[in-house]
Amino acid sequence: MVEANGVRLWCETFGDPADPALLLVMGLGARGATWPDEFCWLLQKGGRYVIRYDNRDTGLSSSVDYEAKPYTIVDLAHDAVGLLDGLGVAVADVVGASMGGMIAQEIALEHADRLSSLTVIMSSAEPLDPETNTFRGTQRDPRLAAWDAEQIANPPSSRKEHVEAQLKLARILTGHLTAFDEAATRAIIERQIESATGTAHAAKNHIFAAFASRDRSGLVGSITAPTLVIHGSDDPMAPIAHGKALAASIPNSEFLPIEGMGHGFPPPVIPRISAAILRHTGR
């Protein structure tokens, strides 16, 4: 546990602190351990000191009364930098996925001296539209809209119901690259909530924070850190056009599309993504 920016953050590290630090920032309501173990091990084997953590209101990190102390994606970026301070890390390669990619962009914008490079996976610079519950200019995937409506009408009230709801969402987010593995996905979801509390609280507060956050589409052009944007062709949460637009907006960035990947990390892509990040951060 690390004290950072007025909250306590759970984190886990892999490798030698003397190696170049690589900070993994996860997305909306998801624990740091959502970053696959194999992914972390491959990065560690590549000579990186890997850090994954729970954002505030997630997993074992501090819960916050959002109504009393509202926060935005910028505040979550400040948390991440505070975590680096607590670990004694002066500069890190920053990798963010989904909402974590939004946080990573804000780290690059607000704390440019604290990152060596930026990698954004399945994310966007566009703001979220509370009317459509998706990124601006994006038509809501009907499967996700139906899932949202179901959660509002019948919110999960037990651990079992939460697991089933997340399992249904994971099935929607899976691309055609690999068949949906229900047993493995169920095990991952159960693992993530095993020691966590307030899962619904985390998701609600992160959604509020995302809605309250600024439009970065006109700001990311000022990012000077070497940037890699990775996006799946089958992403229903953030269609690949968002990844293309983000890469086009950041000077000298690299865009890596992955055919068949949805909004997640199917096992076949883990070696490819980790290799791309090691190559990018090793420049």
| CA distance to 10, 25, 47, 52, 185, per residue, from 33 (Å) | 10, 10, 20, 7, 14
Considering Cα of 282, then 20, then 230, then 135, what sign does the dihedral take?
negative
Question: Phi and psi dihedrals of 50, rounded to 5?
Answer: -95, 135
Phi, psi of 84 (to 5 degrees): -60, -40
Burial class (CB in 10 A: 0-12, 13-18, 19+), 152: exposed
| Cα(207)–Cα(51) distance, integer angstroms | 24
Which residues are paired to 49 by β-bridges? Answer: 21
Whether 263 is catalytic: yes
| Catalytic annotation, pick one of 98, 123, 124, 213 | 98
Q: Active site residue: 124, 235, 249, 253, which one?
A: 235
Which member of 231, 242, 263, 280 is catalytic?
A: 263
- φ/ψ bin of 14: left (φ > 0), alpha (ψ from -120 to 50), beta (otherwise): beta
Has 235 been annotated as catalytic? yes
- Which residues participate in catalysis according to the annotation? 98, 235, 263
